[in-house]
Amino acid sequence: MLDFNIRGENIEVTQAIRDYVQKRVGKLQKFFDNNVDSIAHVNLKIHPDKTAKVEVTIPLPYLVLRAEETSPDMYASVDLVTDKLERQIRKYKTKVNRKSREKGFKAIDFAATDETVAADNDQDDKLDVVRTKRVALKPMDNEEAILQMDMLGHDFFIYEDAETDAINIVYRRNDGRYGLIETGDNQ
């Protein structure tokens, strides 16, 4: 069963918008087995330039589905994000089902469809690792890691935090600012 947590930023979430989101995103339920319960976290946002952004996150056991779309119309953004999530599910459901069975996680199985077998044959090579790179992590602080990342022209950089000895990751966000992922017990 798919429940909804819908919130708005710079927009009042009217009953009409809420119903539309539940109707469109709720159609994804057909891809889940009946034993999967989750909450679709939907964030609706109106930007100052009047564009509408919709972000949907559906956490499942051992897997998170996430998509976001922006367009001039809120309803169109909901349609676009739903289509994107459906494409993700169709693309990866065979691999997710296979991996979950291998690891004994029955709870995340996607419902089987006729296209599953055909898609399985088409997608076998798409997730293969084609290159492995080994790096030595240097102790540094966040600012030095961001500087290194920018100098290398990368979108992320892995480093050892000089104060905590934990492995951290800095990354460039879509808005051009930076994010930090801390691992371990960094508190």
User: Is residue 95 assigned to a domain?
Assistant: yes
Same domain, yes or no, for 110 and 36?
Answer: yes
Q: How confident is the model at residue 118 (pLDDT cuts 50, 70, 90)?
A: very low
Residue with tokens 């159609």: 27
Same domain, yes or no, for 101 and 167?
Answer: no
CATH of the domain at 148: 3.30.505.50
Q: How confident is the model at residue 82 (pLDDT cuts 50, 70, 90)?
A: very high
User: Is residue 87 assigned to a domain?
Assistant: yes
pLDDT of residue 41: 94
User: Is residue 22 assigned to a domain?
Assistant: yes
User: Is residue 128 assigned to a domain?
Assistant: no
User: Is residue 134 assigned to a domain?
Assistant: no
CATH of the domain at 57: 3.30.160.100
Instruction: Dump pLDDT digits (tens) for 9-21.
Output: 999 999 999 999 9
d(CA 75, CA 72): 9
pTM of the entire structure? 0.61
pLDDT of residue 110: 56
pLDDT of residue 128: 77
Q: How confident is the model at residue 120 (pLDDT cuts 50, 70, 90)?
A: very low
Same domain, yes or no, for 70 and 152?
Answer: no
Phi, psi of 84 (to 5 degrees): -65, -45
**In total, how many domains does the chain have?**
2
Same domain, yes or no, for 94 and 143?
Answer: no
pLDDT of residue 106: 52
Same domain, yes or no, for 56 and 105?
Answer: yes
Tell me the mean pLDDT in the region 150-177: 89
Is the model's pLDDT at 81 over the cut of 60?
A: yes
Tell me the mean pLDDT in the region 160-187: 86
The answer to whether 100 and 109 have CB atoms below 8 angstroms apart is: yes
Angle, to 10 degrees, between the axis of helix 115-123 and the axis of helix 74-103?
80
Q: What is the mean pLDDT of the chain?
A: 82
Instruction: Dump pLDDT digits (tens) for 41-64.
Output: 999 999 999 999 999 998 876 678
Q: Which domain holds residue 161?
A: 139-182
Q: Where are the alpha helices (DSSP H) in the chain?
A: 15-26, 74-103, 115-123, 142-152
Among the listed residues 185, 154, 186, 184, the one whose alpha carbon sits nearest the alpha carbon of residue 170: 154
Same domain, yes or no, for 42 and 82?
Answer: yes
